[in-house]
């Protein structure tokens, strides 16, 4: 019986070996392979992984997986940005490479993290029906250890069309220290420059684990820049603990461009007049957004007819919204036209970093009034004469509609022959229409030609705003009289008979408005008059005072009966102590015929001459 059974098995084996065996197949089985799983924290990474259809058995063939769909889960500290992937078909043994894009947090710990994925695919089950399988898999990701850097804070003071400082604070959040680190900050925007270029670097010799570093950069923003946020790029090149040179992923550094500091002008008032000077006042306000330190308001004008006495006004520091008043004294030329004018102010200041900044020009509308002094001089009187000291007096009237205070009338004769003793006369306060008398003592040089003269006056005063102002010139016209005699000379006793000698008495009167002293008088005679005492002296004469002086005069006996002149001059000291020699005066002297009833002297002389002739003739005849 046993023998028979073995025979049957042998026959079956021989039959089986003689017939070819059928090929064996396996259903799809998808696996995940990650060739390079390392990622950098604090930046966006990509990780490539492979989907492989490999059941792992000894079968000859693997069924192709079709419509392979990958859905990424969200249960991971790493933020995966890729949500779905698709592979049309995945044959056995042929890997399909896929990519996951992910953002790795900067503060994540190093180590391996698994990103869950769900894989759904279909395949032919062999019976003609499509079968679908869903599997949960994982993509392992390894967060690299060592130094890692994150930006923790930024602060910028840069303004549009200005400059400022950008502070970037960074922290080494990695597990190791870094050495010989260089942080490079770069700008790809033409409106933003770093230290005058597109990039700038800073160096740190030792950057400890957990250590913070603040890097400072000089930032300039162009005039076409806009307020708001700008993005810069930073990278750290360093050596790790093993001395290997490494470079961090690119870091995004935000910078906020502040609006340009602006100013506004209000409450502008002007007291300008054509041909005069006045005040331009107003209020300037810092409209933000930063504090303007050590601000100086600068007066700007493109007009040749308007000039500020001082072009800068120190305003101090102005916080956003803070205001301060300013004031400029401005002179307007005579060629200017009255009416509205547009000047401007500009503010020079320092920002929070001490950088010098200049604002745009702010318009300054002002009104220039017509030329006009606001004053008039009336009732002008003059006692001026060539070579004398006199007075110029009159009445100053405030013809304006506003009161003035501390008015001072200034006299400017603008010549070398007329000299006022004092050039200023304090008038005081004048209400509108009010008048006040004035008087100047004036000395006229003897070199003056006399005649009509035009003099100029100006008034310095303060207006209702207590602003110091100067009026236009007030022109007045007066006459300077010709030179007058110092003395009036009148003969008291000036009649003599021919051949008589007697006292010559003359009354001398001081016609000047000053005291004259040490007056020495001298007479000069010509034939038939003579003198043996030609000098006389007067100690002092008050204005208008008279005194009689005495000389001795003789007339010859042959003098004809008529009037003869006696010349006289004076040397004296004036009230200034100067010694002056007067012009020559002529005093008339009357000579009358000789008294006594005899023959006239002329006739006697003729008779005497005749007798002498006769006696001479007789003597000659007797000698013959």
pLDDT tens for 47-93 read: 999 999 988 765 568 889 999 999 999 888 899 999 999 999 999 88
What is the pLDDT, as a whole number, of residue 611? 58
| Structure-token match 């308007």, residue found | 306
What is the pLDDT, as a whole number, of residue 6? 36
In whole angstroms, give the CA distance from residue 261 to residue 259: 6
| Structure-token match 């100086």, residue found | 296
- Do residues 357 and 407 share a domain? no
| Structure-token match 């933003």, residue found | 192
What is the pLDDT, as a whole number, of residue 596? 55
What is the pLDDT, as a whole number, of residue 84? 94
CB-based contacts of 579-588 (< 8 A; 24+ apart in sequence):
580/486, 582/485, 582/486, 582/487, 583/485, 585/485, 585/487, 585/489, 587/489, 587/491, 587/494, 587/506, 587/523, 588/491, 588/494, 588/563, 588/564
What is the pLDDT, as a whole number, of residue 12? 37
Say which residue, 386 or 6, is predicted with more confidence. 386
Domain end call among 257, 284, 300: 257
- pLDDT (average), residues 343-353: 89
Domain end call among 117, 143, 169: 143
| Structure-token match 């000395």, residue found | 443
If you count them, how many residues does the chain have?
Answer: 624
In whole angstroms, give the CA distance from residue 483 to residue 490: 20
Residue 437 belongs to a domain: yes
Residue 110 belongs to a domain: yes
In whole angstroms, give the CA distance from residue 340 to residue 363: 13
Say which residue, 271 or 227, is predicted with more confidence. 227
Report how far apart, in Å, the C-alpha atoms of 460 and of each of 421, 464, 544 are: 19, 14, 39
Residue range 543-567, pLDDT digits in tens: 999 999 999 999 998 888 889 999 9
Residue 245 belongs to a domain: yes
What is the pLDDT, as a whole number, of residue 4? 44
- Do residues 248 and 279 share a domain? no
Largest CA distance in the chain: 254
- Do residues 31 and 135 share a domain? yes
What is the pLDDT, as a whole number, of residue 372? 60
The CB-side HSE value for 26 (13 A sphere, CA atoms) comes to 16
DSSP states along 218-244: EEEE-TT--SEEEEEEEEEEEE-TT--
Tokens of 317: 């520091």
| Structure-token match 């390392």, residue found | 38
Residue 109 belongs to a domain: yes
What are the two backbone dihedrals, phi and then psi, of residue 621, each rounded to the nearest 5 degrees?
Answer: -65, -40
Q: Is 27 left (phi over 0), alpha (psi -120 to 50) or beta?
A: beta
Among the listed ranges 207-216, 453-462, 564-573, which one has the minimum average pLDDT value?
453-462
Count structural domains, the chain. Answer: 5
Residue range 239-266, pLDDT digits in tens: 988 888 988 888 899 999 988 889 999 9
CATH number of the domain that residue 92 is part of: 2.60.40.10
Residue 159 belongs to a domain: yes
Using an 8 Å Cβ cutoff, are 61 and 23 in contact?
Answer: yes
DSSP states along 408-432: EEEEE--SSSEEES-SEEEEEEE-T
What is the pLDDT, as a whole number, of residue 324? 95
What does DSSP assign to residue 249? P
- Do residues 138 and 32 share a domain? yes
In whole angstroms, give the CA distance from residue 385 to residue 417: 11
- 0.75 cut: is pTM over it? no
What is the pLDDT, as a whole number, of residue 400? 79
Mean pLDDT, the chain, as a whole number?
85
**How many other CB atoms sit within 10 Å of the CB of residue 471?**
22
Residue 267 belongs to a domain: yes
Using an 8 Å Cβ cutoff, are 35 and 74 in contact?
Answer: no
Among the listed ranges 41-50, 112-121, 444-453, 502-511, which one has the minimum average pLDDT value?
444-453
Tokens of 135: 């599997």
Using an 8 Å Cβ cutoff, are 376 and 394 in contact?
Answer: no
For 111-180, what is the HEC assignment?
A: EEEEEEEEEEEEEECCCCCEEEEEEEEEEEEEECCCCCEEEEEEEECCECCCEEEEEEEEEECCCCCEEE
Residue range 2-49, pLDDT digits in tens: 444 434 333 334 333 444 444 567 888 999 999 999 887 777 889 999
**How many other CB atoms sit within 10 Å of the CB of residue 38?**
12
Domain end call among 99, 123, 143: 143
What is the pLDDT, as a whole number, of residue 621? 52
3-state helix, strand, coil in the chain (%, to 5): 5, 60, 35
pLDDT band with cut points at 50, 70 and 90 for residue 587:
very high
Residue 8 belongs to a domain: no
Among the listed ranges 300-314, 489-503, 600-614, which one has the minimum average pLDDT value?
600-614
Domain of 530 in residue numbering reads as 487-592
The answer to whether residue 588 scores a pLDDT higher than 60 is yes
Residue range 264-309, pLDDT digits in tens: 999 998 878 787 777 899 999 999 888 999 999 999 987 788 888 8
Peptide bond into 188 cis (omega under 30): no
What is the pLDDT, as a whole number, of residue 434? 93
What is the pLDDT, as a whole number, of residue 30? 92
Ranked by mean pLDDT, which of 43-57, 422-436, 477-491, 597-611 comes out on top? 422-436
- Do residues 277 and 298 share a domain? yes
In whole angstroms, give the CA distance from residue 492 to residue 455: 44
- Do residues 269 and 357 share a domain? yes
């Amino acid at each position: 019986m046993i023998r028979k059974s073995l025979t049957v098995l042998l026959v079956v084996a021989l039959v089986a070996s003689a017939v070819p065996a059928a090929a064996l197949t396996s259903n799809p089985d998808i696996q995940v392979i990650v060739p390079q799983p390392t990622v950098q924290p604090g930046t966006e990474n990509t990780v490539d992984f492979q989907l492989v259809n490999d059941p792992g058995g000894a079968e000859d063939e693997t069924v192709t997986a079709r419509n392979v769909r990958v859905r990424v889960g969200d249960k991971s500290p790493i933020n995966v940005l890729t949500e779905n992937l698709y592979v049309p078909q995945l044959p056995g043994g042929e890997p399909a490479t896929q990519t996951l894009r992910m953002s790795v947090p900067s503060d994540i710990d190093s180590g391996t993290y698994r990103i869950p994925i769900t894989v759904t695919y279909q395949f032919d089950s062999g019976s003609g029906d499509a079968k679908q399988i869903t599997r949960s898999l994982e993509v392992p990701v390894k967060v690299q250890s060592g130094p890692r850097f994150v930006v923790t804070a930024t602060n910028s003071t840069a303004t549009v069309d200005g400059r400022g400082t950008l502070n970037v604070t960074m922290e080494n959040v990695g597990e190791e220290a870094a050495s010989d680190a260089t942080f490079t900050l770069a700008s790809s925007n033409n409106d933003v420059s770093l230290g005058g270029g597109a990039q700038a670097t800073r160096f740190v010799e030792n950057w400890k684990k957990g250590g913070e570093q603040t890097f400072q950069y000089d930032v300039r923003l162009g005039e076409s820049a806009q307020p708001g946020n700008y993005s810069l790029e930073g990278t750290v090149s360093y050596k790790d603990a093993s001395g290997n040179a490494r470079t961090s992923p690119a870091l995004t550094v935000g910078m906020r461009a502040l609006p340009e500091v602006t100013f506004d002008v209000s409450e502008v008032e002007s007291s300008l007049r054509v041909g005069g000077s006045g005040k331009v006042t107003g209020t300037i306000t810092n409209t933000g957004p930063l504090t303007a330190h050590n601000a100086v308001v600068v007066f700007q004008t493109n007009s040749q007819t308007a000039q500020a006495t001082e072009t800068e006004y120190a305003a101090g520091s102005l916080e956003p919204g803070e205001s301060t008043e300013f004031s400029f004294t401005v002179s307007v030329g005579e060629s200017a036209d009255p009416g509205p004018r547009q000047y401007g102010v500009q503010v020079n200041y320092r920002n929070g970093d001490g950088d010098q900044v200049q604002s745009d020009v702010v318009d300054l509308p002002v009104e220039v009034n017509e030329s006009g002094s606001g004053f008039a001089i009336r009732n002008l009187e003059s006692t001026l004469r060539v070579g004398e000291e006199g007075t110029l007096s009159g009445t100053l009237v405030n013809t304006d509609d506003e009161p003035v205070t501390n008015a001072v009338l200034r006299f400017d004769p603008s010549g070398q022959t007329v000299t006022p003793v004092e050039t200023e006369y304090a008038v005081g306060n004048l209400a509108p229409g009010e008048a006040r008398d004035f008087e100047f003592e004036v000395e006229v040089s003897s070199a003056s030609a006399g005649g009509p003269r035009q003099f100029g006056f100006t008034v310095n005063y303060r207006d209702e705003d207590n602003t110091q102002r100067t009026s236009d010139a007030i022109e007045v016209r007066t006459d300077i009289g010709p030179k007058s005699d110092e003395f009036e000379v009148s003969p008291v006793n000036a009649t003599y008979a021919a051949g008589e000698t007697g006292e010559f008495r003359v009354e001398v009167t001081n016609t000047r408005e000053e005291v004259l002293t040490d007056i020495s008088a001298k007479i000069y005679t010509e034939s038939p008059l003579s003198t043996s005492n030609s000098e006389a002296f007067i100690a002092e004469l008050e204005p208008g005072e008279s005194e009689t002086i005495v000389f001795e005069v003789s007339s010859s006996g042959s003098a004809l009966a008529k009037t003869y002149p006696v010349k006289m001059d004076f040397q004296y000291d004036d009230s200034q102590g100067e010694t002056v020699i007067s012009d020559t005066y002529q005093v008339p002297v009357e000579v009358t015929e000789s008294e006594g009833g005899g023959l006239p002297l002329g006739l006697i002389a003729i008779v005497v001459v005749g007798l002498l002739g006769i006696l001479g003739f007789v003597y000659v005849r007797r000698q013959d």
